[in-house]
Structure 1
Amino acid sequence: MLVMSSCLLFLLGPLVSSFMAAAQPAGCKIRITDKGLEMLKAETGKFVEEEISNISMPEMMGKEGRFQYTITDVKINDLNLTYVELQFVPDVGLLFDVQDSSISLSFHRKILYWFFYDTGNINASAEGVNINTVLNLIRDEEGRLKINNISCDAKITNMKAEFSGTLGKVYDFMAGFLTSGMRFILNQQICPALNHAALVHVNSLLETIPVRTEVDSYIGIDYSLIEDPVVTSRSLDMHFRGMFFDLSDPNSTLENLAVEPVITDYDRMVYLALSEFFFDSGMFSYYKAGVFQTHIVNEKMSRDMEMLLRTTYFGVIMMLNPGLADAPLSLQIAVNSPPKTTIKTTGATVVMTAIVKVMLLPPGQAPFQLSSMTMETKFNAKVSIRGKRLAIHADLRRFKIFSNLSALESLALIPLQAPLKAILQMSVVPLINNWTKKGVRIPLADGIDFVEEVVEYHNGFIVIGANLHFTKGLREMMEGGEQEQTDTV
């Protein structure tokens, strides 16, 4: 029985682990609303017009009674989208619908009738163009948003051709079978063109959205989807892992025990929600990478601070060795545990604890520790977005130091409170803000930015509502995505 149980656990272990991994809360969520979709509709319409205009029509040859004809150089000159709809399909993805639109074409004719030979151009128009396309959105194996398949139905109700030339009136009766053939071929070409556009071009654009990428030389970020996108009639919700990691040890990550962010609004085009875990994993990763430490010595230390340290520890130095009274002093500041973020309706704060060591640096000798103290700090953290980069600015709110040795020494450190706080504001805080001012990219495609953003603080998470701005056309964005993939290969 024990052996059977062990075997069962062995077989089910990976399944259970997979389920637990999938059940991990999202650290980051993005909602695209129907208002965002409305803006995307115009760009999608332009893209579809270009795709259909690029359809390559084959040469047509045939014989009808005494007529022999060859049709070449078929060109789609214009697609007039009279009615276009782009909307969410619950539990599926997106619907792109075109109704009662028209296509204008031109082609070259060569016609032989008895002994008469005639060539010239023909203008034609396709009326009642209806295209119904549904795109199925999923999470692929890498955790990336992807179009899985596309269902398409295209119909052209009727088609007319206008002949010109010496025998134009004679050829009018040929228009019926010529346009019927062209209408049939065009019907067959539209859906394959849109299939290729979605499964190749659009998916190439989605490939430009970061999934697991470097932020700087220390840390990276994991924006993989933890489940398939959730599609309702009003929105597309994407749930990302939203986790930073140390590049030198990517498997050592923080467990997500934070409150999962919740998005309830639909007023703006897009919403970004970030939990405390999103920020904590970033600071945990920087901590693991050894970034949260600094050494203040020589020109980095103000003259007033150096004199205050010498005065404070003069007795210790004299008892150690009076000859070292003029030896350089230094402060070593190292965060001793991962900083912790707290988000409330009043704002976001970060608590950081560090060990501060006062060191004596005798020339030609090993450094000597004069004192060790604990520094407790609390920062206000202001979140902002520029384009599609999330930035954080920290301001020191509370500062406290106490001795690691005795309460008596803690009293002696009171004069150091203000100078150490000033050093922190002048050296450590700018160092932190220098890392965070560049920001981290939000998982949006190249060519789309956030504008008019509003930041709201909730208990346990932040929600940023914004509108979208296209800095590139959809065609340019897709060509950029394909070029990026080519460069990578």
Structure 2
Amino acid sequence: MFWLVTSCLLSLLFPLVSSIMAAAQPAGCKIRITDKGLEMLKSETEKFVEEEISNISMPEMKGKEGRFQYTITDVKINNLNLTHADLQFIPEVGLLFDVQNSSISLSFHRRILYWFFYDTGNINASAEGVNINTVLNLIRDNEGRLKINNITCEAKISKMRAKFSGTLGKVYDFMSSFLTSGMRFLLNQQICPALNHAALVHVNSLLETIPVRTEVDDFIGIDYSLIDDPVVTSRSLDMHFRGMFFDRSDPNNTLVNYAVDPVIREYDRMVYLALSEFFFDSGMFSYYKAGIFQMHINEKMSKDMEMLLRTTYFGAIMMLNPALVDAPLSLQFAVNSPPKTTIKTTGATVFMTAIVKVMLLPPGQPPVQLSSMTMETKFNAKVSMKGKRLAIHADLRRFKIFSNLSALESLALIPLQAPLKTMLQMSVVPLINNWTKRGVRIPLADGIDFIEEVVEYHNGFIVIGANLHFSKGLREMIAGSNQKDQDIV
């Protein structure tokens, strides 16, 4: 049912103690599914319920009534007509799927013995006044998954009609009452077990195929575990996730969430995704711990930049060894602390500091450090969503360097400001964007995507409103999840 979208929730593999500690922190990521999103999910739910009921297997019926002996076999449900169906939120519980005054058409094969007459044939029947009331209770399980905990189901068929054919059709009309009564009783007994199995087995197994902790790339992963039970109101379903990246080589070394708890106030779109500063900071913290924010620039250094560096440090080279004046130069960049994100209504920025070392590389000898300077940079970060992937594009906005040795050397570095900024824009920034443009997947089930996305910036968090697009039906998605399970086995 709505769980289609809530594929944003899946399995945390930490111990229970870690889960309790995580729950005490604010959410790094929140998702709201509104009643408008639920309305779109209703059609998929109806199709799924129709298919599940159509697949009901009815047992053989045998009996005797006076001179009549009968056997009913090959019962087939041909069609479920959901005339009045509704899918809605139940506050503090979960979901209600309610069917009223609908009908089911079916057929079965008869074998009847009356005195010395033996007759066989098919019977078309219809169940009318079909009412089905199904309530799904949604929880967070011990691993941080969204799960259907239980299902309450009531099914009732008001009346059933059967039309006999064949030579004794009119004679059998009076039999229809007890035959249809038996069929109605059996059908009533079969509907709820079929829906229970569909929800507790099929839907939950689909959720289990989408991991809560998943890889982003070779260096980091992300944790989308729920930190508490879903919050259900009459208008929405809100889910609060840990929303934290981690270094895959050291997954327990994570950032503590002190950021503002994101708030979603809107209901106009089908789904909303809210991301706090912690969401982005934990990603950069994890990349920093993985040692990604380091690079050497030598061969790719422009001739103009190399000439400027030689001019600036000519005196230092000559004092070291005049024979090294033609030795290659290298710039070493290393971020010296985790970058920090700031989100305001005007946009998102990332502040980063790094140590830049100017190195001399004499052939066959150890590198020689000519200078060490601190670089302060500020990037504008543009967040975008496409399909299931959240991406970030960085743009260098502010750049400053100063010496770690003396104020006098800082003055001497002023001519390097503009060329170094240009080099960063041409080499380092594209490297960063190459990591972030691939984006991180929001864990929706295969077959569901965000469309018509709108990004809004607030103080401390970002809210992305979107509508939903289904490229696969629920039955196809479940079949795909079953195939994944078989591939894993």
- Under a length normalisation based on structure 2, what TM-score does the superposition of the two structures give? 0.95
> How far apart in 2 are the matches of 1:196 and 1:288?
45
Deviation, 1:413, is: 1.1
1:301 equivalenced with 2:305 (yes/no): no
Deviation, 1:17, is: 8.1
Contact (CA 8 Å) 1:208, 1:445: kept in 2 or not?
no
> How far apart in 1 are the matches of 2:133 and 2:110?
32
> How far apart in 2 are the matches of 1:18 and 1:332?
40
Give the length in aligned residue pairs.
Answer: 475
Deviation, 1:64, is: 1.4
Structure 1 segment 109-128 matched on structure 2, within 5 A:
109-128=110-129
Corresponding residue number in structure 1 for 2:422: 422
Deviation, 1:21, is: 3.7
Deviation, 1:483, is: 2.1
Corresponding residue number in structure 2 for 1:193: 194
Contact (CA 8 Å) 1:208, 1:446: kept in 2 or not?
no
> How far apart in 1 are the matches of 2:134 and 2:149?
13
Deviation, 1:393, is: 0.5
Deviation, 1:206, is: 1.7
1:167 equivalenced with 2:168 (yes/no): yes
Deviation, 1:23, is: 1.6
Corresponding residue number in structure 1 for 2:31: 30
Structure 1 segment 467-482 matched on structure 2, within 5 A:
467-482=467-482
**Higher mean displacement: 24-33 or 434-443:** 434-443
Deviation, 1:320, is: 1.0
Contact (CA 8 Å) 2:19, 2:227: kept in 1 or not?
no
Deviation, 1:165, is: 1.0
Kindly provide the CA deviation profile for residues 303-347 of structure 1, in whole angstroms up to 9, marking residues without a partner as x.
Answer: 221111111111111111111111111111010000000000000
> How far apart in 1 are the matches of 2:149 and 2:487?
24
State the secondary structure of the residue aligned to 1:355.
strand
Deviation, 1:113, is: 1.4
> How far apart in 2 are the matches of 1:41 and 1:255?
39
Kindly provide the CA deviation profile for residues 47-102 of structure 1, in whole angstroms up to 9, marking residues without a partner as x.
Answer: 00000000001111111111111111110000000001100000000000000000
Structure 1 segment 49-448 matched on structure 2, within 5 A:
49-298=50-299, 300-448=300-448
> How far apart in 1 are the matches of 2:167 and 2:194?
37
State the secondary structure of the residue aligned to 1:166.
coil
> How far apart in 1 are the matches of 2:21 and 2:330?
48
Corresponding residue number in structure 2 for 1:7: none
Deviation, 1:153, is: 0.1
> How far apart in 2 are the matches of 1:235 and 1:480?
28
> How far apart in 1 are the matches of 2:70 and 2:276?
68
Corresponding residue number in structure 2 for 1:9: none
Corresponding residue number in structure 1 for 2:5: none
> How far apart in 2 are the matches of 1:334 and 1:212?
29
> How far apart in 1 are the matches of 2:146 and 2:446?
15
State the secondary structure of the residue aligned to 1:262.
coil
Kindly provide the CA deviation profile for residues 334-373 of structure 1, in whole angstroms up to 9, marking residues without a partner as x.
Answer: 1000000000000000000000111111110000001111
State the secondary structure of the residue aligned to 1:304.
helix
Kindly provide the CA deviation profile for residues 175-214 of structure 1, in whole angstroms up to 9, marking residues without a partner as x.
Answer: 1111111100000000000000000111122223331111
The runs of at least 4 aligned residues of structure 1 exceeding 6 Å deviation read 14-18
CA spacing shift, 1:478–1:16, aligned 2, 3 Å: closer
Contact (CA 8 Å) 1:78, 1:103: kept in 2 or not?
yes
Deviation, 1:22, is: 2.1
Deviation, 1:164, is: 0.8
> How far apart in 1 are the matches of 2:457 and 2:410?
37
Contact (CA 8 Å) 2:28, 2:261: kept in 1 or not?
yes
> How far apart in 1 are the matches of 2:208 and 2:320?
64
Deviation, 1:428, is: 0.9
Task: Give unpaired runs (5+ residues) of structure 2.
Answer: 1-14
Kindly provide the CA deviation profile for residues 425-446 of structure 1, in whole angstroms up to 9, marking residues without a partner as x.
Answer: 1111111111111111113222
State the secondary structure of the residue aligned to 1:283.
helix
Contact (CA 8 Å) 1:392, 1:437: kept in 2 or not?
yes
State the secondary structure of the residue aligned to 1:249.
coil
Contact (CA 8 Å) 1:248, 1:289: kept in 2 or not?
yes
- Code of the aligned partner of 1:374: T
Task: Give unpaired runs (5+ residues) of structure 1.
Answer: 1-13
Contact (CA 8 Å) 2:16, 2:142: kept in 1 or not?
no
> How far apart in 2 are the matches of 1:258 and 1:90?
28
> How far apart in 2 are the matches of 1:46 and 1:350?
46
Kindly provide the CA deviation profile for residues 354-407 of structure 1, in whole angstroms up to 9, marking residues without a partner as x.
Answer: 001111111100000011111100000000001011100000010111111111
> How far apart in 2 are the matches of 1:487 and 1:461?
39
Contact (CA 8 Å) 1:209, 1:446: kept in 2 or not?
no
Deviation, 1:20, is: 4.7
State the secondary structure of the residue aligned to 2:210.
coil
> How far apart in 2 are the matches of 1:320 and 1:129?
93
1:463 equivalenced with 2:467 (yes/no): no
**Higher mean displacement: 417-426 or 359-368:** 417-426
Deviation, 1:302, is: 1.4
State the secondary structure of the residue aligned to 2:59.
coil
**Higher mean displacement: 235-244 or 313-322:** 313-322
Corresponding residue number in structure 1 for 2:11: none
- Code of the aligned partner of 1:467: N
State the secondary structure of the residue aligned to 1:348.
strand
Contact (CA 8 Å) 2:22, 2:242: kept in 1 or not?
no
Contact (CA 8 Å) 1:205, 1:478: kept in 2 or not?
yes
- Code of the aligned partner of 1:224: S
Deviation, 1:409, is: 1.0
Kindly provide the CA deviation profile for residues 204-248 of structure 1, in whole angstroms up to 9, marking residues without a partner as x.
Answer: 222233311111110011110000000001100000000111001
> How far apart in 1 are the matches of 2:42 and 2:28?
29
